[in-house]
Amino acid sequence: MAKKIVVIGGGIAGLSAAQAAATTDKDASVLLICGEKKLPYYRPRICEVFSGLDVEKLNVHSEQWFIDNKIELIFQMVQEIDPETKQLRFVGVEEQLTYDKLIIATGAVGNRPEAEGTATDNVLALRFLADINRVRRYPGPVVVIGGGLLGLEAAWHLSCEGRQVVIIERGERLLMRQLDEEASRFFLHIVENAGIRVALNGSLEAIRNGQVILSDSRGFPAAVTIFAAGIKPQIALAQAAGLQCNRAIVVDAMMATSADDIYACGDCAEFNGFVPGLWTVSMAQGTVAGKNAVGGEESYTPEEPPYMMNAMGTRIWSGGNITLEESVTRSFPADGKFYKLFFNDKGQLSGAILIGEIGKSIALKKAIANRMNRTEALELI
C-alpha cells in the first residue's frame, strides 16, 4: 500500500522534503501544507521586491511543477498534531488529515526583542512576503536593527526604493560572522558611500515618538523599524504534540524526532544543539527527512557553507576559517575590491574573504577544501 507522507511547511525545508519523498518513492502520496497559502518562494530574496523584483519571480517552482511531480498542495494552517492517531487538524476545518509519516518543517519567525514601543504594527521582523506590504504602509525613514546579512540586504533594497535608511548594529562592526575586522572596515566605507548611515555599538532602549532611541541616547527617526536579529523557531505544534524540544525540535542525524514516524527539518529543527537558520542547511535537512520518510537510511552531515551577499552595490563571499592570524591582504579601495586569504600554521589555505569581485570564489572554495599551499593560493587573487 502506498505511503502517505504529509509535510507541514512551505519553506525550502518542506519543499525539499516533499521533493525528496516524491522522487525516492514514485508510489508515495506526498502532501505539502503551505500555511502562507502561497507557492513556496525564495524567502531570502524577498527584500529585492523593494527594488523592483516581480513577486512572481520569487516562486521556486510553478504550480504545474507540483502537478508533474505528484505533490499535492494544501493551503491551510495546521492547528494540531495527534501522534497517537496520526492525524492533523486544520484551523477552521472540521475534517482531519491522516498520515503514515509526518515531516514538520514549520520554519521560524524573525526574532523581535522586547522593548518599549516594539508591539506596534510598524515594528516588525522582516521574514515573509506579507511583511513587504506591511512596510510599504508606512512611508518615510526606516531603521534596520541588525548588521548581519539580512539586515544589510533589507537596508540596501529599501534605499533603492528611495527610503532613508539607518542600520543599527549592537556590535562594534558589520558582518561580524562573515568578515574579519579589516574587511569590516573596508565594507563599512562601501555602505556609507552607498548613502546608508550606520550606528555601531547600538543597544535598543525604546521606540517612541517616531524615533528609535538607543541606550546611549542616540535617536533616529523611523516610520518603520525592522528587526534583523536572528530567528525564533516555530515549535508550538511540536510542543503541544509532546515532541522533545529545546530551542527547536530535537532531531537525530536521520531528522527523526522523539515521536515515532515524525521527522523535522530546517529552521524548526535542532541537531546536535544547533539551529543554523541557513537556506542551504534547510535544503540538505529537508532532503534527508524526505528520503527517510519513505524508507531511506540517509544521515545528515553538517557543513559550514560559505557566505554570500549581493547588496550595497557590491558582492561579498566568505568561506572557511577567517580567524587565523596568518593572512595576506590585497586591497584596492578605489575599485571597491578587497581580497584576503588565511593560512594555517602549515602554510595551507584555510579561509578567504572576497569583496567587490567574487569570480574566484568557486576556485577558492576548492582550494580551501584541498588545503592548497600558500604560493599557489596567492596566484588566485
Q: What are the pLDDT digits (tens) for 90-131?
A: 999 888 999 999 999 999 998 888 899 999 999 999 899 999
pTM: 0.91
* Domains of the chain from N-terminus onward: 4-109+231-293 (3.50.50.60), 112-227 (3.50.50.60), 313-378 (3.30.390.30)
381 residues of the chain, pLDDT tens digit each:
689 999 999 999 999 999 999 999 999 999 999 999 999 999 999 999 999 999 999 999 999 999 999 999 999 999 999 999 999 999 998 889 999 999 999 999 988 888 999 999 999 998 999 999 999 999 999 999 998 888 999 999 999 999 999 999 999 999 998 999 999 999 999 999 999 999 999 999 999 999 999 999 999 999 999 999 889 999 999 999 999 999 999 999 999 999 999 999 999 999 999 998 889 999 999 999 999 999 999 999 998 888 999 999 999 999 999 999 999 999 999 999 999 999 999 999 999 999 999 999 999 999 999 999 999 999 999
- Helix H, strand E, coil C: the string for the chain is CCCEEEEECCCHHHHHHHHHHHHHCCCCEEEEECCCCCCCECHHHHHHHHHCCCHHHHECCCHHHHHHCCEEEECCCEEEEECCCCEEEECCCCCEEECCEEEECCCEEECCCCCECCCCCCEEECCCHHHHHHHHCCCCCEEEECCCHHHHHHHHHHHHCCCCEEEECCCCCCCCCCCCHHHHHHHHHHHHHCCCEEECCCCEEEEECCEEEECCCCEEECCEEEECCCEEECCHHHHHCCCCECCCEEECCCCECCCCCEEECHHHEEECCECCCCHHHHHHHHHHHHHHHCCCCCCCCCCCCCEEEEECCEEEEEEECCCCCCEEEEEEHHHCEEEEEEECCCCEEEEEEEECCCCCHHHHHHHHHCCCEHHHHHCCC
